[in-house]
Amino acid sequence: MGKLLETIKIVNGEIRHLAFHAARLNATRATLFNIQTPIDLREFIKNVPKIGIYRCRVIYAKQVEQVEYSLYQPKIFKCFKVIEDNSITYNFKFLNRQKLDDLFKIKGTADDILLIKNGWVTDTTIANVAFWDGVQWLTPKVPLLKGTTRARLLMDKKIFVENIKLADLRHFSKMAMLNALLEFYPIADFVLS
């Protein structure tokens, strides 16, 4: 079994939404390794940078193996290449993302890809997604990975689950990417290619 990863945002020394990351990490350990004793991530995430926005990577399997910090370099996302792959699975946040990386390589000039599985919209290579229908934000009912930001926004009733087909996307005026670093990243004029 491969190593797993949690990516956590740190802003001016504040560890963002740690409880959601800890919950996913411990649920993953319980499912994959049958380990019920939870890990307290606060014991491993120490001496965090006090100024700036940082990406904290917690690499783990049965136990936490490594914690890394790097300065976060935000990117701009607007254009997404639509790619269908009916065999892809990414139920757990494995460090090895080879299949996603291979799909990302064929994006051409797009900023990322939007994955379709069995006719249903799922995720980009780095984020869950949501779409604005004029009333509310809708996120795919079955994403590739159940992200921590998606979980938090669902709990807060800021987004709602819906089955979304590729053909449905023409009805949405905005798209948002959801992940720990981007948080909620709305895109008013998203482009699909």
Instruction: Using the predicted structure, report yes or no on whether residue 1 has a pLDDT greater than 80.
Output: no
Phi-psi region of 70 (alpha: psi -120 to 50; beta: other; left: phi over 0): beta
Mean pLDDT of the chain: 95
Tell me the average pLDDT across 128-142.
96
Higher pLDDT, 193 or 131: 131
Instruction: Using the predicted structure, report yes or no on whether residue 189 has a pLDDT greater than 90.
Output: no
Share of the chain above pLDDT 90, in %: 93
Q: Where are the domains of the chain?
A: 4-71, 79-192
Question: In the structure, what pLDDT confidence band is assigned to residue 193 with cuts at 50, 70 and 90?
Answer: confident
The two tokens of residue 124 are: 């980009």
Residue that the structure tokens 């783990």 belong to: 60
Tell me the average pLDDT across 89-110.
93
CATH of 79-192 given 3.40.50.10800, 3.40.50.20, 3.20.10.10, 3.40.50.280: 3.20.10.10
Q: What is the pLDDT, as a whole number, of residue 12?
A: 97
Distances (CA, A) of 40 to 44, 66, 92: 8, 14, 19
Q: pLDDT tens digits for 42-95?
A: 999 999 999 999 999 999 999 999 999 999 998 999 999 999 999 999 999 999
Tell me the average pLDDT across 168-187.
94
Query: Would you call 174 exposed, middle or buried from its count of C-beta atoms within 10 A (0-12, 13-18, 19+)?
Result: middle
Which CATH number does 4-71 carry?
A: 3.30.470.10
- 35-47 in b/e form (b: 16+ CB < 10 A) is eeeebebeeebee
Tell me the average pLDDT across 118-146.
96
